[in-house]
Amino acid sequence: MSRLDPRVERRRTRDGSGARWELLSKEVFERDDHTCQRCGYDTTDGDGGDEGRRLQAHHITTHGSPSFEQLDDLVTVCEPCHATLHSDDPAYDDARARAPMFPRPDAPPAVSTMRNDRQHVCQRCQYVAESATELAAYTHDNRPYVLCKPCAGALLEAGFDPNAFEVAGDTGVDSLRSRASEAPVRPALLASRPVRVTRPPETRFERVVYDTPLRYVLNPFGLTALFILVGVVFSFYVF
């Protein structure tokens, strides 16, 4: 392991610069085989790699300054993937756009994120995914719409173009289709228009709720109207 002059080793580095940080980064790059732990980009072929994707060390903890005894608090990422880990910082916007939408399936949890935090929300049912491996993406008019895998399956069952879907790893279209029944029959009120698709009811309960007049009551607007009506009727009896 590289060593520093004791005075440099005691120096706390918070801004990712300086001699101490350079040596810490070198140790982390070697430990991680000079490979981005989010997307798999590596520079081991000796050509130095793409300047726009140079490797950087990311400090995974919010506070403190890492030392040679705390290398587990650092992880190797390329510049665009590093930007995804700072999704609230506008200074990283240009670099973030160059990062793959999905991390590789075996990415460590500390770096297994989409391009930004908002992309962890299914745009059909509003489910918030903890891991990017739970998600897929549907591209419409050159804009990606993130979906949970069941909702992606529901869109495929509805006839959406299979070539417009992207999933992290080796998950195929057939695997997504097999999960369509797990998706809500109806999209959420805040669902994005291109993915506002109703899944055909499959079970007897779903058919009763969604294929009979009950569908006019068992939805947010119907329940609100019913609550108001009950309140009005109740007020006549009380007053």
pLDDT for position 11: 43
Query: Percent of the chain at pLDDT above 90?
Result: 44
- Total residue length of the chain: 239
Q: Are residues 104 and 1 in the same domain?
A: yes
Residue 58 domain-assigned?
A: yes
H/E stretch holding 147 = strand 143-148
Residue 205 domain-assigned?
A: no
Q: Among 94, 114, 134, give the residue marking a domain's end.
A: 114
Three-state DSSP class for residue 13: coil
pLDDT for position 215: 56
At 113, the amino acid letter reads T
pLDDT for position 61: 78
Residue 206 domain-assigned?
A: no
Q: Are residues 1 and 51 in the same domain?
A: yes
Q: Among 114, 140, 158, give the residue marking a domain's end.
A: 114
Report yes or no: 38 and 84 within 8 Å, Cβ to Cβ: yes
Q: Are residues 85 and 38 in the same domain?
A: yes
Q: Are residues 131 and 183 in the same domain?
A: yes
Give the chain's domain count: 3
Give the residue numbers spanning the domain of 189: 121-200
Q: Are residues 29 and 66 in the same domain?
A: yes
Q: Are residues 87 and 127 in the same domain?
A: no
pLDDT for position 13: 43
Q: Are residues 73 and 20 in the same domain?
A: yes
Question: Full-prediction pTM beyond 0.85?
Answer: no
Q: Are residues 1 and 87 in the same domain?
A: yes
**Tens of pLDDT along the chain (239 residues)?**
444 444 444 444 444 667 778 888 999 999 999 999 999 999 876 555 676 789 999 988 765 666 666 788 899 999 999 999 988 888 888 899 899 999 998 899 889 889 877 789 999 999 999 888 899 999 999 999 999 999 999 999 999 999 999 987 767 888 999 999 999 999 998 999 999 999 999 888 777 777 766 555 555 555 566 567 677 777 777 66
Q: Are residues 110 and 127 in the same domain?
A: no
Report yes or no: 13 and 65 within 8 Å, Cβ to Cβ: yes
pLDDT for position 67: 62
pLDDT for position 12: 45
Q: Among 96, 114, 132, give the residue marking a domain's end.
A: 114
pLDDT for position 220: 57
Tokens at residue 15, please? 């801004």
Report yes or no: 151 and 194 within 8 Å, Cβ to Cβ: no
Q: Are residues 67 and 170 in the same domain?
A: no
pLDDT for position 18: 72
Q: Are residues 164 and 218 in the same domain?
A: no
